[in-house]
Chain A
Amino acid sequence: MIDYSLKKLVQLVITTFGVVTLVFFTLRLIPGDAASAMAGDTLSGDALEALREQMGLNEPLFRQYLDYLSSLARFDLGETITTRIPISELLLKAVPITMTIAVSTIVLTVLIAIPLGTLAAFMAHKGRKTLDNFLTGTAMILDLMPSFWTALVFLLLFSLTLGWFPASGMVSWDDPWALMQRIALPVLVLSVTQVATMARITRTSVLEILSEDYVRTARSMGWSELRVLFRHALKNAALPIVTVIGLSFGNLLNGTVIVEFIFTVPGVGNLLITGINSRDYQMVQTLIVFYALLFVTINFATDLVYRSLDPRVKF
């Protein structure tokens, strides 16, 4: 286990270095820089050059790279290029918000999708196709709805027509109830897609297990259908489901980018969009490193969960 963790740690450093280097140079390959993004329609010539000088964009590229590496090694994330705000400050505010949304979404998704998928599998196994078809059909439709569209429909329905949740406003930790209301819509929108995927995977894996011999044995021992379904079938079907949960966490981080924009949630996704639009290299680099670290961590956690679910899994 310790060997494994060490190995992972070394991998982590190598991965991060690779990501940092790749991101640093590819970002600069994209034409246009922070100065021209800022200048937009009205500036050019000398004025633009002055701006570039001020932003430190005229330094030799390799020198910028070395500076960046050395500050990163000192855990100094630097400042945004256009607005001179410490990036660590921005991250400290944005990460908890995005994480709250992502974790809430996963919890909600698991609570809905797993019983739903298991039920669908059970129905399919029993030959009661109507409910199964309905469930898988709905899941498919939900899965195919793009989140920006779902977001707008939910806004119109839940915010404007029903008036249950606000469409805008501060996201503040001072008032937990207001915070929940504020992030309810983003969480719902993100859950819709996730529920569909997870319910489908659950259904498939459970259905497969249901025709296994040991399930028949369990039934023949006179245990209730529910117990057979959840204690035996679902537990043995758990590995692919856990994989999907891990993966969907990654998907969620993609999803939050759009949803955070529409609902103006000041999370990591919003920072990323701002950074890309304003060609703020420093910000985008840092955020991508952050995402990379997060993915590595999630994979690590998934591995650990695998092992506790199935002791046969070796690292």
Chain B
Amino acid sequence: MFKLNRRQFGSLLGATALVGAGQPVLAQDGKTLTIRFYDDPAGYDPANIFRIENENLAFNIFSGLTTYDSQTGEIIPDLATSWETTDNKTWTFNLRKGVQWQEGYGEFTAEDVIYSYSRILDPETASPYAGEFAGLVAMEAPDPYTLIIELDSPNGSFLHSVANYHQGQIVKKEAIEAAGDQVRWQPVGTGPYYMDFIDVNSQIILKRHDDYYQGPAPIETLVFNIIKDEATATIALRNGEVDLVMRSNREENLQTLMAEGFKMNTVDNYAVAVKVFNTEFEPFADARVRKAIAHAIDYDTITQALSPSLQQGYHSLLMPWMPVYTPDVARYPYDVEAAKALLAQAGYPDGFSFKHLGTSAQGVTELQQFEIDFLSKVGVAMEMDLVDTPTFNQRRNAGEFEMATRLLPAINPDMILANYLHPDNKVPGGLNGARYDNPEVTDLMAAAKAEPDPEKAKALYVQLQQIVMDDLPYLPTYANNVFWPGKQSVIGVQPNYLAQVNFWEVDVTTS
């Protein structure tokens, strides 16, 4: 699958000419970074890409109109240099000039955006992300560098939909057509790196896109070696076979690497794991029972004991770095007496028993053993209902459980809120496994989305979070941290809130 395109061939000739003229090759040239990749690649077509590790490569190959600041998670310009809206319904984007496509496909224009979004919406594409553009009614390009998008209803989080992620990634018509049914293996974007080589069972190589609009990346070649086993990945880093480990997620490995002085490259509070209460299961229909469960389990202690680096107890559905987050919500600190009192009020003075859906692949995790133990102290018996992973996914999507867990990583707060809380998204058919349906909250969600003034919108989001945490249809348990441990010489690795690294920011120091 090695291919040498015209541009590469050209640069090869150029390099030879330079050497021939006795001039030094650019000092930054030839740098290579070897990175652990943790699963078989599954394709890089933005229309149907899935799983974070694949998305991370696409993030570096493609661009969106907007993108995310690696440090703050804030929306920043990408292919759009600026945008305006007065009503969250009509959005005007001013596009960047002189952006070059990879593989010699010419200059980026508004037509490319229109093609990309139309492709997502085309039923033929069958993109699972088409819903993100469901409200898009018209697109118009008065000139190649201006794009006007009309939505059917106000959507304050539309800038997330056009970000460098999934459906927001801009593709090139000619490249898509040239690739035919192999689109997923031949991605062409405008990002800092292009796809050079894939062996689906062992290795992926990305090469620097020299014409990237922000200038060429410091590292020329990114080699992703597939290493599935966590322990093997840790040894590969300690052995120097890789420079950087994409997502190390075992506490013992992290402790070893920390002790040996590796750089940990982390982002805190990436996403929150929640307990989904099926409110059709009788005890959980009563908010007092849900609150009793919340008081009964001490997640601070559990995470401290099990995985102090990777997790900490958490109290909200939204993450602290989101602009609309408020810390000012009802909290349920560990309190056995309060839990017992709430259970007694709800009519369960002697407790009750329920089944928690889990995967047989994981078995009864240490975390769940703790939960079982904590709950037994207030008389509640938690039994594990273990099934294999796809069955688990299916039953969880269908809502066939009494309690389940879910972790919904998202950078867009509306996505979390709508999925968990909107009655249209009730299971089956959505992620609202609690069957939550509070008209006040539904109205607030719509109002917050429609409000163009950030201050006023925030006030609505605050009110919404307060109501939801009083109702407690979902119990936030702990927040996850993401680790990309690497050598000290690898600098600039900053996982963003999608757990992705922007390799344009990464460099290797020689010292």
**Which residues of A are at the interface with B, using a C-beta cutoff of 8 A?**
30-33, 36-48, 50-51, 53-54, 82-85, 90, 93-94, 152, 155-156, 159-160, 163, 166-171, 261-264, 266, 270-271, 274, 277-279
Contact = CB atoms under 8 A, between A and B. Distances in A.
7 contacts: A32-B394, A40-B51, A167-B232, A167-B236, A170-B199, A262-B232, A279-B390
A51 B128 contact: yes
B428 A83 contact: no
Contacts of A262: 229, 231-232
Given A47-B131, A54-B126, A163-B239, A40 B40 contact: no
A47 B129 contact: yes
A32 B390 contact: yes
B390 A36 contact: yes
B390 A30 contact: yes
A266 B430 contact: no
A53 B184 contact: no
Interface string B377-417: 00000000001111111110100000000111100000000
Interface string B112-138: 000000000001001111110000000
B130 A93 contact: no
Most B CB contacts (10 A, CB to CB) among A36, A261, A263, A266 go to A36
A41 B406 contact: yes
Nearest to B226: A264
A53 B126 contact: yes
B196 to A, nearest CB: 14
Nearest to A163: B239
Interface of B: 36, 40-43, 48, 50-51, 123, 126-131, 181-182, 184-185, 199-203, 225-229, 231-233, 235-236, 238-239, 241-242, 387-395, 397, 406-409, 425, 427-431
B430 A90 contact: no
Nearest to B393: A36
B34 to A, nearest CB: 9
B235 A167 contact: yes
A263 B390 contact: no
Contact of B42 (A44, A82, A160): A82
A84 B199 CA distance: 14
Given A30-B391, A166-B241, A264-B229, A50 B201 contact: no
Contacts of B425: 45
Contacts of A278: 42
B229 A83 contact: no
Contacts of B241: 166-169
A222 to B, nearest CB: 56
Given A31-B387, A32-B388, 15 more contacts: A38-B50, A39-B128, A41-B406, A41-B407, A45-B430, A48-B397, A51-B126, A51-B128, A84-B43, A85-B200, A94-B201, A166-B239, A261-B229, A262-B231, A274-B40
Given A261-B228, A266-B202, A83 B238 contact: no
B465 to A, nearest CB: 21
Given A167-B235, A167-B236, A168-B242, A83 B430 contact: no
Given A84-B184, A168-B227, A50 B128 contact: yes
B42 A41 contact: no
A37 B128 contact: no
Nearest to B131: A47
Contacts of B430: 44-45
Q: Which 8 A-B pairs have the closest CB atoms?
A: A32-B390, A266-B201, A54-B126, A47-B128, A45-B429, A31-B391, A168-B236, A44-B397
Contacts of B428: 44-45
Contact of B235 (A46, A160, A170): A160
A159 B185 CA distance: 33
A169 B406 CA distance: 34
A277 B40 CA distance: 11
A170 B128 contact: no
Contacts of A32: 388-394
Most A CB contacts (10 A, CB to CB) among B50, B123, B387, B430 go to B50
Contacts of B395: 31
A246 to B, nearest CB: 28
Most A CB contacts (10 A, CB to CB) among B131, B239, B395, B406 go to B239
A51 B48 contact: yes
Contacts of B201: 90, 93-94, 266, 270-271
A33 B390 contact: yes
A83 B39 CA distance: 13
Contact of A46 (B182, B227, B391, B429): B429
A28 B129 CA distance: 26
Contact of B232 (A46, A54, A264, A270): A264
Given A47-B130, A160-B235, A167-B232, A90 B200 contact: yes
Most B CB contacts (10 A, CB to CB) among A53, A152, A167 go to A167
B416 to A, nearest CB: 11
Contacts of B129: 47
Contacts of A37: 389-390, 393
A54 B40 CA distance: 21
Contact of B225 (A43, A82, A170, A261): A170
A40 B126 CA distance: 17
Contacts of B231: 152, 155, 262
Contacts of A163: 239
Given A47-B128, A261-B228, A264-B228, A159 B235 contact: yes
A33 B396 CA distance: 14
A31 B357 CA distance: 15
B176 to A, nearest CB: 15
Contacts of B235: 155-156, 159-160, 167
A32 B398 CA distance: 11
A286 to B, nearest CB: 15
